Chain A
Amino acid sequence: MKIKDIALDGVVRQNPVFKLVLGTCPTLAVTVSMSNALGMGLAVIFVLTCSNVLISMLRNIIPDKVRIPAFIMIIATFVTIVMLVLDKFMPDLYDSLGLFLPLIVVNCLILARAEAFASSNGVGYSALDGIFMGCGFTLGLLAMSLVREFLGSGSIFGLKIMEFSIGAFATSAGGFLTFGLLIAAFVAINNKINEKNKHKKHQQIAAVEQEVKDAVAAHENSQAEVK
């Protein structure tokens, strides 16, 4: 397994927001402002990385029968740490994230990575998976919130950019609309890149085949000359 593969999987190929469609609840709820989206993203990166590392370390100790409750307990511990730290040092962010902060415990993304990756891979790879999956999630939230805050409130990171705004983008309906449009855009771009890569691969294969054919022909010519 290559580090590049883990990074690409986390951020692009298996993007949690637009490709796997995991953690949709906070994606729709906290993306009204970019600062909330960034705060939620960083909290998820921390919880995902720490829980992945610990679960990977304990993967041979935790019996299969109780792995889900054990994972939940580990994840809940890290979420509580995030909550305590935010309440102490970033009370405004803590207040604005509200219920969605404790709900990280049941975020499908975190449990899915614990179950699918951390419980069967080494500590280093699990840590990288947590970091890159978290980055993919954060980028997804930031993309959503960029559209929603800019169109819904005419601002970016709370700074007023324009007076014109379409209030609907700040509502739940606007959240679903933005989500659908961004998924469509993500899939379309992904497909185009895949097609380009496929075309490139075909060209490479064709070039190799041509080279082989030329070599065979040259070999046959030389054989004929010898005869």
Chain B
Amino acid sequence: MTHAKSKKSLNPSVLAVLVLVVIALVSGGLLAILNDLLFVSEEERTNRSLNKVYASESFTELEIDADYASNADYGEIVYLYEAADGTIIISARGQKGWKGQSQIVMAVSTDGTIVNMIVGDYGGDDKTTSIDADYLKQYTGMQVTADLKFTVSGEAGAVDVSSGASATHTMGSICSAANMAVYYLVNSDVMGGDAQ
């Protein structure tokens, strides 16, 4: 009797669940360790964006002027840095977007010219191929002044940056973020009054 009992195999359904649980636990454990080892901190991501948008030996973080840190029409400022040669690196998050708010990083030289702009985060939109380097070139070379405003809706007097295939909402959010950066640079003291 005892011999017969010991020979009894495990219920197939229980065995199936057991195997799945073991695979899930081993996978989960392995990924948890790797995630700890390969974790990319927010600071590292910021450094990557800074180096991508403007080549400089060092960057100094500047304090954001709370009075102009956000705007109901455009969005909000994320961070502000100064490169070794005085170029300002500003990151802003625009309103709306396709799945979320897009974030841009803009480099503005000491004379107030936009020298480069990249997208730091598409806000969950995966149509990144639609918004390539050529699209972002529309923003560069512009002089940051109180009159500078970008538009994707054909607003009179504003710089039209609507050209690009699909990703309309994300382009709108990027445009809004660029306007937020310009708004901050024009109104705060960060450019030493040059932009105004």
A positions within 8 Å CB-CB of B: 32, 58, 61-63, 65-66, 69-70, 73-74, 76-77, 80-81, 84-85, 87-88, 91, 95-96, 98-99, 171
Contacts and interface: CB of A to CB of B under 8 A. Distances in A.
A62 B129 CA distance: 41
5 contacts: A61-B19, A65-B12, A70-B19, A91-B40, A171-B165
Q: Which bracket fits the contact residues of B?
A: 20 to 34
Given A63-B12, A80-B31, A88-B40, A73 B20 contact: yes
A61 B15 CA distance: 10
Contact of B27 (A58, A66, A74, A171): A74
B126 A99 contact: yes
Main secondary structure of the interface of A (DSSP, over half): helix
Chain B at the A interface: SS class: helix
Interface string B36-66: 0010100000001000000000000000000
Given A65-B12, A66-B16, A98-B128, A87 B38 contact: yes
B132 to A, nearest CB: 9
Interface of B: 12-13, 15-17, 19-20, 23-24, 27, 30-31, 34-35, 38, 40, 48, 126, 128-129, 165
Nearest to A96: B128
A183 to B, nearest CB: 23
B181 to A, nearest CB: 21
Given A73-B23, A171-B165, A63 B128 contact: no
